[in-house]
Structure 1
Amino acid sequence: MTQSHPINKKINENAFEMIKLISFLLMTCLLAFGKTNANAKPTIYTIGDSTVKNGRGDGSGGLWGWGDPLVQFFDTSRVEVENHALGGTSSRTFRTKGLWQPVLERLQPGDYVLMQFGHNDAGPINDDFRARGTIKGVGDESEEIDNLLTGEHEVVHSYGWYLRQYIQEAKAKGAIPVVMSPIPRNSWKDGRVPRNDQSYGLWAKEVALAEGVEFINLNEKMASAMEKLGEAQVTGNLFFEHDHTHTSAKGAVLAAALIVEGLREAENCPLKDFLLENPTINFPEKKKVFLIGDSTVAGGSGEIVGWGRELPAFFDSSRVETINKARGGRSSRTFLYEGLWDELVPQLGRGDFVLMQFGHNDGGNIDKAKYRGSLRGTGNETQEVTREDGSKETVHTYGWYMKKYIADAQAKGAIPIVVSMIPRNRWKDGKVERASDSYGKWAREVAEQTGAFFIDLNEAVAAEYEAMGAEAVSAFFPDDHTHTNSAGALLNAKILAQQIARIKECPLRGAVSVSGQSH
């Protein structure tokens, strides 16, 4: 047996130690990677303009981008979908406004970036209004400007240059880009929808091919689908008559379905592995709007109509279902005492709404028939009442009952909206009598104390009545000074819808169609 030379032995020992060290470092990296990514899901990021995400993505005005329904086509137990598009942006301003950087910083290997730009790239390169245009084409031309809108010096590039930056930067992070051509506008000529295959659709395709990434010709796919339906079926269905660029919910679903079709056709895009085989598309998710209150809210009968009967006409019926649980003769007290509220609570779901208006009957008898009066104010005072049948009832303040409705709704994940009672047809010196020192005031206080939304319908309707004049308003009240006919109810419902639409933080505003024509 030969002995190894001492030098060789030392070399072997050093090599062995080096191998152990490398193995240790590799194992450490693998373990660290496993700890942080064992349960991580890839994320699909969508970037683009308002045809990808309209407004806040809440369907305001019935308009949606395709990035919102897209999530329903994917197995979300295996992949996340995040819509980062913003209306009004171009391939240029999505970068300059700082919208791309947060997405880029979050990108992980195996994530996806779906991009669609072009609708706004044709605008002016430099003006004091939007300054969002890009140089046409895919070349390396550039233009130096002093931006009239931002006041900053800027180098503006071509549409294709900006797309290349998104693609290359996403790739550098290990993400997988997918490029879409812009959806078509609802413009028709001789029974056909004009394509953009000689402009932004063409340039998007050229960039995708040059960069070796998937391209989905969404413009062609959707234009063809629209032509199969015909202009009469598209307008008012996939697009609304007043807007030829932004899709309705149905139009957004069609665009998303065509993107999915394109992903399935793609040969080298693993994103299709996350698609559901038979997705159930429920978009937009319909929420319930429950109404509680007295006869001025209830549907009514004959000539007497509450605003709750007319309110659904001012909502997008594809987004919300209005359920009127108001009942004539009830106060904030009796609606609870009679079990009407307890019947409703189990029906509430997360994201539903409860509009509540009480006050007209709360000033009635507390301890005599009809036993519907509540204590004044919003405090915790109580009064024990013995009813005609000998039973005992603890009566609370108007505010206490309202707070209970709010708390119960919030506990179910529903969104309460407190509405002050409509004014009575009572006038003094040319002014309508307000409830601003009583139930209107207490309704506001309750909303503020509980974090509920508040609408001062009492004030808004009174102001409208005064603008119309007492004689015109009298036609709304056929029998008394409290209850309206259908015309009065319609006016009150319209004013309420307008007030809801003005609350920027309220999700229900997106479902309001103040024109009274539901989509």
Structure 2
Amino acid sequence: MTWRFDFGPEGDFQEGYEKVSRAALYDDKLGYGFVSLGKVSVKKRTNDLLTGDFCIPFDATFIVDVPNGNYIVSLLIGDAIAATDTTLKTNGEHLVLNHYKTVAGQFAREQFGVNVRDGKLKLSFGGLAPRINALEITASSQQVTIYLAGDSTVTDPVPGNFPFSGWGQMLNYYFKHDVVVANHAIGGRSTKSFIDEGRLDRIREEMKEGDFLFIQFGHNDQKKDEARYTDPTTTYPEYLKRYIDAARSVKAIPVLLTSVHRRYYDQAGKLIDTHKAYLEAVRQLAAEEQVALIDLAEKSRQLFEQLGPEGTTALFLWGEPGEWLNYSNGIRDNTHFQEQGGLSIAKLVVWGIQELQLMPLTMFLKAADV
């Protein structure tokens, strides 16, 4: 099943494509369109049907109604007489293009994977000079899916929380269209509460042979309330093993990750380990179960100590009063990340994938970005 769209002013369009003009406001009967038209404009440069015209979707979101599942999205971007600069996020605010540039007269086709769970495929545009000439969306059952189970350090952001970011939001950016990230992580959850809420069951229902389940908890397993607390020497590894067993039950591949560190330093500038026994529990379980381990705690420790207390404020959710619209009174958060931090931690995860030579994931990395 494939959807094709040709963007630009009303008039001629490529056969087999739906024409999308500035008037294409989304409604559920049409099944596609821009959420708002306030910053959408159109332009025609030449008579070429796909490359000769385009939409300028400045801070605009385009939606297409599609069945839940995985998709390969192909985007044509360019301008006959001007340079372009396009940033693009998909479902879950997953970053797929970051200031993607073309020069005048260049037309580039980019592909990426998208996981849809709410019946809508969303493309949110940004950048200094965004363009979209044409779009193709194709349903796919052949992609490798990385399922993420975790907490707020992994999760996708909720609307109105920019620049909050979990590293799972940014992982898609490093992969070609052959890989899709399905981020089921959610803030405030522990290994226990995630399972008790049925979230692991939903992942298991979707996972297929050859997929991956990345598992990173620990922050909330330390919380002393009954709904979330697990003991690092007993119940924490017991619950983690249930994730391993769920993946193996469908011949998917489990990957354990130690908890990313919080931003706390001692007087010597060394990072303070706030997870302690929870980290060792993950390492020991990975060895016992012969499960791939990405030691994100160690990788983040090295990064945070290299950057130091001042440098890490550019990664964590820190802001002065008025710096971020959604945190206008200022914020000092030493646990959660802003988007630059999410992108940096996702890169550490990718380095772990490379070190482990997790196939076929390593084959599908964008070499220029890692």
The TM-score, its normalising length taken from structure 2, stands at 0.56
Which residue identity is paired with 2:279? G
- Give 1:506 deviation, angstroms: 4.2
Distance 2:289 2:360 in 1: 17
| 2:199 alignment counterpart | 340
Which residue of structure 2 aligns with residue 288 of structure 1?
145
- Per-residue CA deviations over 1:58-82 (Å, capped at 9, x if unaligned) read xxxxxxxxxxxxxxxxxxxxxxxxx
Distance 2:285 2:157 in 1: 28
Cα distance in 1 for partners of 2:348, 2:363 equals 16
Cα offset for 1:507?
3.2
Asked whether 1:510 is paired with 2:363, we answer yes
Unaligned runs of 5+ in 1: 1-231, 239-281, 380-396
Asked if the contact 1:314–1:515 (Cα under 8 Å) also holds between the matched residues in 2, the reply is no
Q: TM-score, normalised by structure 1?
A: 0.40
Q: Once the two structures are superposed, what CA deviation does each residue of 1:35-70 show, in whole Å capped at 9, x if it has no partner?
A: xxxxxxxxxxxxxxxxxxxxxxxxxxxxxxxxxxxx
Aligned-CA RMSD value? 2.6
What displacement does 1:366 show? 4.1
Number of matched residues?
222
Matches within 5 A, 1:47-62: none
CA deviation profile, 1:216-269 (whole Å, cap 9, x unmatched):
xxxxxxxxxxxxxxxx78x9889xxxxxxxxxxxxxxxxxxxxxxxxxxxxxxx
Q: Which amino acid in the other structure matches residue 313 of structure 1? A: Y
The alignment status of 1:432 with 2:288, answered yes or no, reads no
Q: Deviations over 1:332-389 (max 9, x none)?
A: 110001111111111010000111100000011243xxx2111222x3xxxxxxxxxx
Q: Which position in structure 1 is the counterpart of 2:154?
A: 297
Q: Contact 2:218–2:275 at 8 Å: present in 1 too?
A: no
Q: Secondary structure at the match of 1:481?
A: strand
Superimposed CA distance per residue, residues 428-459 of structure 1 (whole angstroms, 9 cap, x where no aligned partner)? 12111236732211111111111211000111
- Summarize the Cα distance change of 1:412–1:473 in structure 2 as closer, same or farther, 3 Å threshold: same
Aligned to 1:406, which of 244, 252, 266?
A: 244
Match of 1:325 in 2: 184
Q: Write the letter of the residue equivalent to 1:339.
A: G
| 1:306 is aligned to 2:166 | yes
Give the secondary structure class of the aligned counterpart of 1:469: helix
If each structure's helix is expressed as a fraction of its own residues, which one has the higher value?
1
Distance in 2, Cα, partners of 1:360 & 1:514:
32
| The one of 470, 473, 477 aligned to 2:309 | 470
Within 5 Å, which residues of 2 pair with 1:340-379?
Answer: 340-367=199-226, 371-377=227-233, 379=234
Contact 2:259 2:275 in 1 (8 A): no
Q: Which amino acid aligns with 1:423?
A: H
Q: Is the 8 A contact 1:290 1:322 kept in 2?
A: yes
Contact 2:262–2:274 (Cα < 8 Å) also in 1:
no
Distance 1:425 1:283 in 2: 40
2:345 pairs with 478, 487, 492, which one? 492
Q: Answer yes or no: is the 8 Å Cα contact 1:311–1:494 preserved in 2.
A: yes
Q: SS of the residue aligned with 1:502? A: helix
1:205-216 residue pairs with structure 2 within 5 A? none
**Higher radius of gyration, 1 or 2:** 1
SS at match of 1:445: helix
Q: Deviations over 1:1-25 (max 9, x none)?
A: xxxxxxxxxxxxxxxxxxxxxxxxx
Q: What's the CA shift string for 1:194-229, capped at 9, x where partnerless?
A: xxxxxxxxxxxxxxxxxxxxxxxxxxxxxxxxxxxx
Q: 1:453 aligns with which of 278, 292, 295?
A: 292
Q: Whole-Å Cα distance in 2 between the matches of residues 405 and 283 of structure 1? A: 26
Q: After superposition, where does 1:25-104 map in structure 2 within 5 Å?
A: none
**1:501 equivalent among 336, 354, 357:** 354
User: Structure 1 pair 398/237, CA: closer, same or farther in 2 (3 Å)?
Assistant: closer
Q: CA deviation at 1:508?
A: 2.1
Q: Which residue of 1 aligns with 2:23?
A: none
Q: Matched residues in 2 for 1:427 and 1:415: separation?
A: 35
Is 2:319 the counterpart of 1:480?
Answer: no
Q: Aligned-pair distance for 1:285? A: 3.3
Deviation at 1:323, TM superposition (A): 0.6
Query: Structure 1 residues 419 and 515 mapped into 2: Cα distance closer, same or farther (>3 Å)?
Result: farther
| Contact residue 501 and residue 510 of structure 1 kept, 8 A | no
- Is the 1:350–1:412 Cα contact (8 Å) retained in structure 2? yes
Asked if 1:416 is matched to 2:273, the reply is no
Q: Is the 8 A contact 2:258 2:294 kept in 1?
A: yes
> Cα distance, 1:470 vs. partner?
1.3
Instruction: Write the deviation string for residues 165-193 of structure 1: whole angstroms up to 9, x where unpaired.
Output: xxxxxxxxxxxxxxxxxxxxxxxxxxxxx
CA offset digits 1:447-495 (Å, max 9, x no partner): 1111211000111011011111210102322232111111111110111
CA drift at 1:401: 0.7
Runs of 4+ in 1 over 4 A off after TM superposition: 235-238
Whether the aligned pair in 2 keeps the contact of 1:287 and 1:321 (CA below 8 Å) is: yes
Number of the residue aligned with 1:274: none
Amino acid paired to 1:327: I
Contact 1:501 1:509 in 2 (8 A): yes
Q: Residue 496 of structure 1 aligns to which amino acid in structure 2?
A: V
Say which structure, 1 or 2, has more relative contact order (CA 8 Å, 6+ apart).
Answer: 2
Aligned residue for 1:440, secondary structure, equals helix
Unaligned runs of 5+ in 2: 1-105, 112-138, 319-331
SS at match of 2:215: strand
